[in-house]
Amino acid sequence: MEIKARPRPKTASDLTCPHCAEPVSAKARTCPHCNGPLFHDGKTIETPVCPRCRVELKKVKTEGEDELESCPNCGGYWLDYQNFARATNPQRLAKEFADSKNHWHKPEVGPIQYVSCPRCGRYMNRENFSKISGIVIDRCGDHGVWLDSGELDRIRLFIAAGGLERLQDKKLDKLNEELRELASRVQGEEFMTRLLNFWNPKRIFFKGRF
């Protein structure tokens, strides 16, 4: 099934219908295109649909007994933040993927496509998971994360292969580089202070009496 890319909304208030993905007004209570209910007052959609295929999500259980919502058509997953944290727990994954540390590779980045949250209909943010994995996920700040087919497994393998440790190493390397630059600037400023003090006109005129 071909998925057409939709343009990123110009403002955070722009909404799409979570049922048919057509643009709707922030003041509307029903979609003028499909007559589906819209909620903008903190409520969530009781029967979420896939942001890619527009079919109803079904609850499934993973091998780790996590209950997730999955699209029966494309195989994508919707996870609230509690389920996402549990499914990506490093200690748990270290045991599950003990023999898979050499199997992870950085995926190719596909075309940019913004999709709407299955719970509120707002466009979600696209984020590179852990900033270095290359796995771009769709995240709603209020409700959870949408993962396309295969992304959950790639994230879990990335974590099990020590990806989060590499992120920490990268942060430490950046911090060390910033500290070296700061030390270099401080030494340069100290040198200039001593130089200016040495060439102070008063010192020259009064032959170092000051």
| 3 within domain boundaries | no
Q: Which domain holds residue 179?
A: 168-205
The verdict on 42 and 127 lying in the same domain is: yes
Q: Which residues of 179-206 are buried (b: 16+ CB within 10 A; e: fewer)?
A: eeeeeeeeeeeeeeeeeeeeeeeeeeee
| 36 within domain boundaries | yes
The verdict on 76 and 153 lying in the same domain is: yes
Nearest Cα to Cα of residue 16 among 136, 114, 142, 127: 114
| 5 within domain boundaries | no
Task: Using only the alpha carbons of the chain, give its radius of gyration.
Answer: 26
The verdict on 50 and 27 lying in the same domain is: yes
Q: What is the pLDDT of residues 94-124, one digit of tens each?
A: 777 666 555 555 666 667 888 989 988 888 9
Say what percent of the chain tops pLDDT 70: 56
User: Which pLDDT band, with edges at 50, 70 and 90, does 210 fall under?
Assistant: very low
The verdict on 76 and 121 lying in the same domain is: yes
Q: What is the pLDDT of residues 195-204, one digit of tens each?
A: 556 555 555 4
Mean pLDDT of the chain: 73
What is the number of structural domains in the chain? 2
Is the Cβ–Cβ distance between 127 and 193 less than 8 Å? no
The verdict on 188 and 101 lying in the same domain is: no
- pTM of the complete model: 0.60
